[in-house]
Structure formats: C-alpha cells, structure tokens
Amino acid sequence: MDFLAPLKIDELNSGVSTGNTILTAHGERIASHSPVDGKLIATVQGGDKNDYETVIAKAQAAFLEWRTWPAPKRGEVVRQIGEALRTYKEPLGKLVSYEMGKSLQEGYGEVQEMIDICDFAVGLSRQLYGLSMHSERPSHRMYEQWHPLGIVGIISAFNFPVAVWSWNAMLAWICGNVCIWKPSEKTPLCAVACHHIIAEVLKRNNVPDGINGLVTGGREVGEWLSADARIPLVSATGSTRMGKAVGATVGARLGRALLELGGNNAIIISKHADLDIAIRGSVFGAVGTAGQRCTTTRRLIIHDEVYDSVKSKLVAAYQQLRIGNPLDENNHVGPLIDKDAVIMYNKALEACKKEGGRFIVEGGVLDGDGYESGCYVKPCIAEVESHFKIVEQETFAPILYLMKYNTLDDAIAIQNGVPQGLSSSIMTLNLREAEQFLSANGSDCGIANVNIGTSGAEIGGAFGGEKETGGGRESGSDAWKAYMRRQTNTINYSTQLPLAQGIKFHV
Ligand code: NAD
C-alpha cells in the first residue's frame, strides 16, 4: 500500500481537525477494512461531543475573519488546493479505489472531479453576481448582494468519499463560509487524507484555522450537525431515509438543508435508438461502481419492437464482464462496500423473484480466490413489471430491471412513476421523441439526457434531483446561491424621502 505514506495515513489516525490543525480525538475508533480484499487498512479515532464543540468554536471564530477576505483571494486559496490535488491525484485516487472499492479509473476520476470543481470555484470567485434593479423612487438605487451564511455542515455518503465533499466545500469557501465535514464512517481514511493534503495549503496561505473542520464518526455526528442552530446550512448526501431525518431536524429549527439523496434512474430505449450506444451506455450505467452510484441505471424501459434485440445484446455484454480487484484495470466490476450491502443485494433478488421477476442474467455472491472479502456479487438482469414494489426502490447494487413499452407517453409515465427523481435518459435519434422527453411533460428528474447514460455528470451543470431525491442542487450553474444569503439594498441619494407605492406620510 505504497499510496498511504504520501497521504500521511498511519495505523491510527485522528479523525478530528480544524483544518490547519489535526486534533487529538476522543470518540470511538473506526476500523477501515477494504472491500477489495477484506484487509484492515488503518483505524481512525472519531470525535466525541467535546471534540465537536472545539471544532465548532474554531469554525465560528474563523468565519469572522474568512468572510472579510475578498472572494478572489479566497479563490486563490482554492486554486492552490486544486494544484495540491493534482500533485496527490495518484495516491488519493488509489486510496479511494481501495477503501471504497470502485475501479482505479473511477478513483482517479473522482479526484479529477475535485480538481474540476476547484477550477470552477476559482472562476466563480470573481463572479457571485447580484442583480441591480430600477427603483420607482427618484434618485434611489436598488441592487442585491450575496453574503456568506456562516458554518456549512457537510454530511457525505461512502460511494463518493471525496468528490461530494469538495463540491460543497470549494463553493462554500469561495462564498466566504467555513465548513465542517462529517464523512461516511465507511470511508474515513479518504477524509483524513484530504485534510492532510489541504492543511498544507491553508497553513501556507495563513488562512484562519477553523475553515476546514472535520469530525469523523457515526450517524450521531450527523445528528449533532442537523440539530445545531449555529449551522445555518446542512448539506447532506446519502439515502432518502437519512435525508428525511436530516430534513426534519433542520426544518424544525428553520435552518436550510441541501439534500442529495437516492435515485432510481431509468433509460428509455426507443425503436429509433442507436442500439450500439444504447447498450454501451446502459451497461456502464448499470455496473459501473458495482451499481453504487446515485445515478446508476437501475431500469431500462425498452420499446417492444427492439426489446428482444436489446435483451440479447445485453446478455452478451454481461457475459464479457470481468469481476474482481478494482485496482486491476482489466476488471470491470469491483466489490460492494461491505457485507451488509451484500445482504441487501440478496434480499432484493429474493423480493424480485417473489414478485414474479425473471432473471435473464443470474445474480449471486462470489467466493474463492480473489473474492475473500465476501463483497463481490454478480451484476444481474431481471425482466419485471413496473409496478413491482422492489422496482420502485433503490437497491444499491448492480441489479438491472427490464420493462417493455409501446408508446412514448407510457414510457415516460413508467419512468416518472417512482418516488425518486434524480437522473434519466432517452436513447433515440428521433428529434420529436428527444424533445418530448426533455419538455415539461417529459422526464421529471433533475438530470435528463439524450443518447448518453444516466451516470457520469460533469461539474458545469447543477447536480441533484426531485421528489425523494431531495430537491438540492450542487456543483455547477448557479448552485452557489444555496451557500449564500441574498440581501436587497436600497440607497437614497436625494434630499427627499419618497415612499414606495406613492404612500404619503407627513409629520
Ligand atoms: P447513508 O444514508 O447510510 O449515509 C450517508 C451519511 O449520512 C453518512 O455519513 C451517515 O453517517 C450519515 N447519516 C446516516 N443517518 C443519519 C441521520 N439520521 N442523521 C444524520 N446523518 C446520518 O448513505 P450511504 O449508504 O453512505 O450512501 C448511499 C446512498 O447515498 C444512496 O442512497 C445514494 O443514492 C445516495 N447518494 C446520493 C447522491 C446524490 O447526489 N443524490 C450522491 C451519492 C450518494
């Protein structure tokens, strides 16, 4: 594990930091085992409530100074963070792959996404535009400004152990906020590694200690953040179950919650599709990251005229898949995150069969040489009906459901007929179909694509989804506005005091 030393990962690491300083932690010790081979990588000491209070106090003090830095100066710090991430891309990408289990290419891709958001945030630090308006009152000027909120709490999921945090932190920082990160307890080492990389940059730039808080631990740390009125914004990425809990707690104190939750993403394959692209897009979408992306393709809704042809091409493609160590670039599919995920996968297979699903590519858990961790499963495909309960749920594993349709209206209704609303695609070369899919009576998802799959979003667009996906938007476009408060300013430079709406008031 040559990649641990450059990232300063020891056998026992502290999981509590104020950004420039790694603190002594007093909470529970978390052992991080790799799903790749089941081996212990290292341990992380989590934070207790006192550690949390220390990080909060530092964050509050740091905010008072950081918010006065001009935004382009904050952007310059983020630019240097991007440079540091370029330097550490290889070891960090390997750690992501080894601790989380995604392919090495996807591990590097995740770090690249961090670099991309840094670039995006640097440009944005010279923008953060507000509008100006014409006042109805003479010699008055009206405009709006955007100010930072304060502390942004970031709760993240295991499947994107570093990128999701950076989407939030880089934007929050250039906006003038400070952050406290509660990473997934399943991938704590990735978080510690990020903190080591970034601490060097923060210290070099004399950034106030406290802008980059880290409190590692279980769900209780997420609960502290959610309930804490000192945290105006909680950005939480994870399951819908978690999002409902966080949303209720933050809502009860009228704080802001930015929720990025589960998906149940579908591709509609029309009879007008380029089937080669459709198959490649579907297979990558369904088995990439072993089905553990929020944007994973879980459902294919296929026109009945091309259904048999798509089915046989998919079966042939699945037979080519190599399952094994994700650090070996010859393999296509790595492990699930842990044995609990394998249990969920097995339960979904059983439920699907019970409801009448027919497996055309059988699933199963792999054992023997190379599969000692017990976390490797076979990607599988079942023919189902859209009303099956199991099809309406997100199972975080490589299970692909096939359904038939006849008219595009039906296909869109099936696609939208689930509680989640994250990502969606249509494969078609027919302009009318593509435009209907993208129109107001088309896909109800936050992401709708034509002739590419459901996964693999870019930084430039706002990322997120509707319904049980939580409604939040992160990353590109004007997602930065979620991290700021808007202030409307009216300035009177006349010698009178005219009132709006022509109201007369004499004293
Ligand atoms: P999870 O919900 O189990 O955990 C996510 C994080 O929330 C962890 O840090 C966990 O400790 C914390 N947490 C759990 N319960 C909490 C509570 N009651 N209060 C506060 N914090 C709590 O999710 P996971 O298994 O790590 O990740 C997989 C899920 O994340 C999938 O549903 C996936 O679709 C979703 N996800 C969504 C996006 C998106 O952008 N929409 C991105 C990645 C993952």
Three-state SS at 491: strand
DSSP-derived secondary structure letter, 227: H
* Local structure of 424: helix, strand or coil: strand
For the question of residue 260 being annotated catalytic, the response is yes
How many beta carbons lie within 10 A of that of residue 298, not counting itself?
26
**Which ligand 1 atom sits closest to the C-alpha of 218?**
11
CA distance 296 to 455: 6
Q: Kindly tell me the burial class for residue 291, based on how many C-beta atoms sit within 10 Å of its own C-beta (0-12, 13-18, 19 or more).
A: buried
Centre of ligand 1 from the C-alpha of residue 341, in Å: 13
Distance (angstroms) between ligand 1 centre and the Cα of 155 equals 8
> How far is the centre of ligand 1, averaged over its atoms, from the C-alpha of 242 (Å)?
6
Q: Which residues approach ligand 1 with their CB closer than 6 A?
A: 155-160, 164, 182, 184-185, 218-219, 222-223, 226, 237-239, 242, 245-246, 260-263, 294, 394, 396, 422, 469
Cα 157 to ligand 1 centre (Å): 4
In this structure, the residue with its CA closest to atom 26 of ligand 1 is 157
Nearest to 269 by CA among 408, 380, 432, 438: 408
User: 399 C-alpha vs ligand 1 centroid, how far in Å?
Assistant: 20
Output the DSSP codes for 79-138.
HHHHHHHHHTHHHHHHHHHHHH---HHHHHHHHHHHHHHHHHHHHHTT-----EEE-SST
Probe target for ligand 1 pocket from 187, 219, 466, with the most ligand atoms within 8 Å of CB: 219
**Distance between CA atoms of 425 and 279, rounded to whole angstroms?**
13
Place of tokens 């707690």: 249
What would the CATH number be for the domain defined by 4-261+470-487?
3.40.605.10
Nearest atom in ligand 1 to 470's CA? 41
Q: What is the CATH number of domain 265-450?
A: 3.40.309.10
Model pTM score? 0.98
Question: Which of 110, 160, 180, 294 has most ligand 1 atoms within 8 Å of CB, for mutation?
Answer: 294
Query: Which residue in the list 99, 185, 260, 433 is annotated as catalytic?
Result: 260
Atom of ligand 1 nearest to the CA of 226: 20
Ligand 1 atom at minimum distance from 260 CA: 41
**Spans of all domains in the chain:** 4-261+470-487, 265-450
The tens-digit pLDDT sequence of the chain (507 residues) is 899 999 999 999 999 999 999 999 999 999 999 999 999 999 999 999 999 999 999 999 999 999 999 999 999 999 999 999 999 999 999 999 999 999 999 999 999 999 999 999 999 999 999 999 999 999 999 999 999 999 999 999 999 999 999 999 999 999 999 999 999 999 999 999 999 999 999 999 999 999 999 999 999 999 999 999 999 999 999 999 999 999 999 999 999 999 999 999 999 999 999 999 999 999 999 999 999 999 999 999 999 999 999 999 999 999 999 999 999 999 999 999 999 999 999 999 999 999 999 999 999 999 999 999 999 999 999 999 999 999 999 999 999 999 999 999 999 999 999 999 999 999 999 999 999 999 999 999 999 999 999 998 999 999 999 999 999 999 999 999 999 999 999 999 999 999 999 999 988
